[in-house]
Amino acid sequence: MAVTGVLSHIEECIPALRRYATALLRNREDADDLVHDCLVRALDKLHTRRDDADVRAWLFTIMHNLFVSQLRRKKSRPAGEPLTESREATLTLRPDQETNLHFRDLVAALNRLPVEQRSVLLLVSVEDLSYAEAAGVLGIPIGTVMSRLARGRERLRQMTEGEQVRPVLRRVK
């Protein structure tokens, strides 16, 4: 087995793993913690791999499973620390984007989506996973991927198009 190849494939995936974790958790530090745990777990499981194929989907699967068990732990905790809204929401934006209402609204709206829709949207739209790969990563049927994608996109559209009206109104005033 070409471990050498797997390791360099894993390394290539780290930026994408950080991007997905950041978009999902909305907090840079939590995101890097998740990526760290994912990489450690991947190294633990390295010997179970047969070849270099699908390293990316494999890593996203490991990370998704860690994320889900993290969510479960947080849910079993008493109230407080809501998972949805976060003060770090805008941290994922570049400084020049912060002034850009469109981006800020979009990320804020994304954060209001249920996590199931958010993860599908991110895996497909941002990480370029195929529908089948996304289904494998999330452990759901491909039909569920499609319906979550459709619902997520439509809700996101309604939320952002609703908000885009505001600047127009200001201009009129």
Residues at the contact surface with another protein, assessed by CB under 8 A? 1-4, 7-8, 10-11, 14-16, 18-19, 22-23, 32, 35-36, 39-40, 43, 46-47, 92-94, 97, 102-103, 106-107, 110, 121-122, 124-126, 130-131, 146, 149-150, 153-154, 156-157, 160-161
Tell me the closest approach of the beta carbon of residue 79 to another protein, in angstroms: 30
State the chain's maximal CA–CA distance in angstroms.
68
Tell me the closest approach of the beta carbon of residue 150 to another protein, in angstroms: 6
Q: Which is nearer to another protein, 72 or 99 (CB)?
A: 99
Tell me the closest approach of the beta carbon of residue 72 to another protein, in angstroms: 24
Do 92 and 127 meet the contact criterion of CB atoms below 8 Å apart? Answer: no
CA distance 48 to 43: 10
Exposed e or buried b per residue across 21-30, where buried means at least 16 C-beta atoms within 10 angstroms of its C-beta = bbbbbbbeeb
**H/E element, 152:** helix 142-163
Q: Which is nearer to another protein, 65 or 151 (CB)?
A: 151
Structure-token pair, residue 19: 């991007």
Q: Which is nearer to another protein, 22 or 61 (CB)?
A: 22
Radius of gyration over every alpha carbon of the chain, rounded to an integer in angstroms? 18
CA trace torsion 121, 125, 131, 135 (10° rounding): -40
Q: Which is nearer to another protein, 35 or 61 (CB)?
A: 35
Tell me the closest approach of the beta carbon of residue 75 to another protein, in angstroms: 26
